[in-house]
Amino acid sequence: MSQRQIVYTGRKIQVATDLLTTVDGRQVRRDVVIHPGAVVILPVLDRHQIVLLKNYRFIVEDTLWEVPAGTLESGEEPQQAAIRELAEETGYQAARWHYHGFVYASPGVLTEKMHLFFALDLTPGPAHPEADEHLQPVILSLQTALEMIRRGDIRDAKTVTTLLLWDRFYADQFLPPSTS
């Protein structure tokens, strides 16, 4: 059982201090970031090509390779958020979607659930990123992206997770065999 005190409320998150009772009866304090959840989308063009974003992240002062992603809005279902974020960040619309499930971003301090989606049968369109987003969609081969993970060029955990899940468990299931 815990007691939670909200100590800060921001635009997307809250910060709280929890007073917890451990299984052996001790009381401990833990800081927790309360997050509404997010969606993560891997846009798949065909058996060999995917879309990633070059995304400047002010928090880490670095441009990262990432899959499209975004925060759930109040009352929004994850698939609706995925459709919205894919269109906003890349311009693509998907005719087929596959939901993998969710992973926790950093469960030691953060409540964020990241819902993982694969977007298939894509149709291009204009992107409409938010004003504070500096995004550049880039078409890459899946093999190039996997090599970038191996070299350490892709340092975003949600992107590494989603790419490896797709390659290991889903690519053969959802796409026809290559004719080349």
- pLDDT for 168 equals 94
Please give the angle made by the CA atoms of 139, 118 and 86, to the nearest 5 degrees: 65
Exposed/middle/buried for residue 15 (C-beta within 10 Å: 0-12, 13-18, 19+): middle
- pLDDT for 113 equals 98
Which phi and psi angles does 15 have, rounded to 5°?
-115, 135
CATH number for region 38-174: 3.90.79.10
- pLDDT for 178 equals 60
Q: Which residues of 41-74 are buried (b: 16+ CB within 10 A; e: fewer)?
A: bbbbbebebbbbbebeeeeeeeebbbbbbbbbee
Which residues are designated catalytic?
133
Nearest CA among 85, 91, 92 for reference residue 46:
92
The stretch 7-30 carries a mean pLDDT of: 95
Domain edges within the chain: 2-34, 38-174
- pLDDT for 177 equals 61
- pLDDT for 47 equals 85
> pLDDT tens-digit profile of 35-73?
999 999 999 999 899 999 999 999 999 999 999 999 999
> pLDDT tens-digit profile of 109-166?
999 999 999 999 999 999 988 888 889 999 999 999 999 999 999 999 999 999 999 9
Q: Which pairing describes strands 62-66 and 135-141: parallel, antiparallel, or unpaired?
A: unpaired
How sure is the predictor about 179, in pLDDT bands with cuts at 50, 70 and 90? Answer: low
Residue 1 has pLDDT above 60, yes or no: no
In the sheet where 69-71 sits, what is the strand order?
Answer: 69-71, 38-43, 113-123, 93-104
Coil, helix or strand for 146? helix
Question: How much is the pTM?
Answer: 0.92
